[in-house]
Amino acid sequence: MPTFVYMTRCDGCGHCVDICPSDIMHIDKTYRRAYNIEPNMCWECYSCVKACPQNAIDARGYADFAPLGHSVRVLREPEKGTISWKIKFRNGHEKNFVSPIRTTPWGTIPSPAELPPPSENDFKNQELAHEPDALNIEGGLPALTSGQLKKGVI
C-alpha cells in the first residue's frame, strides 16, 4: 500500500522528503507540495506518514487489485509519547491501535558524542558501546544457556 498526499493538507515543509528511505517523496514542480514520485518503489515503511506534521499523508493499495475505500491513518502525538493508528477496511470495519513512541522525554537520550569513549574491555565483548544502559537492562543482555536450547542445536 504505497503512500499518497492530500494536497490541500500538505504545506510543503519537506519532512517527508527528508525522512523517506527510498527517496521517492519529492516536491511537486507545479504547486510545491509533496508527492510520491514512484508508488511501486514504496516499501511502505510509513516513515513519511508518521513524520508528516499536517497528517497529510495516507496509504492506499493499488486500484487494480485493491478497490478503494480503505485507509490507514496515523496520529502522532509526540508530547504524549504516543502514535495512534486507525485502520479502516473496505467493508467499514475499523481497527484502532495506540503504541508508545518512547518512555523518556525528548532530548534526554544522549548522542554518542556526549557519552564517554568505550574502554578497552568494551571492545572485547559483543555488545555495542553503551548498549545495556540504553536498553535499561540491569546485569547485561539476557542470553540463552545451552540447557534452554533444543537438542541438536549445539
Binding footprint of another protein on the chain (CB under 8 A) = 8-9, 11-15, 17-19, 26-32, 34, 51, 53-55, 71, 73-75, 77-82, 84-86, 88, 96, 98, 102, 105-106
Which residue has cell 519529492?
Answer: 26
Query: Shortest approach of another protein to residue 140 CB, angstroms?
Result: 28
CB closer to another protein, 64 vs 94: 94
Helix (H) or strand (E) holding 87: strand 82-88
CB closer to another protein, 90 vs 102: 102
Cell of 143: 542470553
Query: Shortest approach of another protein to residue 28 CB, angstroms?
Result: 7
Q: Is 43 a catalytic residue?
A: yes
CB closer to another protein, 104 vs 126: 104
CA distance linking residue 61 with residue 48, whole number of Å: 16
Query: Shortest approach of another protein to residue 40 CB, angstroms?
Result: 21
Q: Tell me the CA distances in angstroms from 101 to 15, 29, 64, 92, 114, one per residue in order.
A: 18, 34, 35, 28, 23
CB closer to another protein, 45 vs 141: 45
Query: Shortest approach of another protein to residue 89 CB, angstroms?
Result: 13
Q: Tell me the CA distances in angstroms from 100 to 24, 85, 103, 127, 143, one per residue in order.
A: 27, 11, 7, 25, 26
Indicate which residue of 6, 31, 43, 97 is catalytic. 43
For the chain, helix, strand, coil in percent to 5 are 20, 20, 60
Catalytic residues: 43
